[in-house]
A = this chain, B = another copy of it.
Amino acid sequence: MKKLINDPNNVVQEMLEGFAAAHSGHVRLLGDLNVVVRRDGPVNGKVGLVSGGGSGHEPAHAGYVGAGMLDAACAGDVFASPSVGQILAAIKHVDSGSGVLLIIKNYTGDVLNFELAMDLARENEGVSVDKVIVSDDVSVDPSARTAGRRGIAGTIFIHKIAGARAEAGGTLHDVKASAETALKNLRSMGMALSPCTVPATGKPTFTLPEDEMEIGMGIHGEPGIKRTKIMGADQVAEALLSNITADMPLREGDEVALMTNGLGATPVMELYIMHRAASALLKDMGVAICAGYVGEYMTSLEMSGCSLTVLRLDDGLKSLLFAPSRTPAFVQI
List chain A positions with a Cβ less than 8 A from chain B: 2-7, 11, 14-19, 21-24, 55-56, 58-59, 193-194, 196, 210, 213, 230, 232-234, 236, 260, 264-277, 279, 289, 292-296, 299, 301-302, 304-306, 326, 331, 333
Contact = CB atoms under 8 A, between A and B. Distances in A.
A127 to B, nearest CB: 31
Nearest to A4: B270
Find the residue from A6, A18, A301 having the highest chain B CB count within 10 A: A18
B302 A5 contact: no
A2 B230 contact: yes
Contact of A22 (B266, B277, B293): B293
Given A4-B193, A4-B306, A331-B333, A58 B14 contact: no
A5 B58 contact: no
Contacts of A305: 4
Contacts of A301: 267, 269
A275 B58 contact: no
Given A2-B210, A2-B230, A265-B265, A273 B59 contact: no
A56 B269 contact: yes
Contact of A15 (B210, B232, B276): B276
B11 A273 contact: yes
B213 A2 contact: yes
Find the residue from A23, A236, A270 having the highest chain B CB count within 10 A: A270
A295 B292 CA distance: 19
A270 B301 CA distance: 9
Contacts of A293: 22
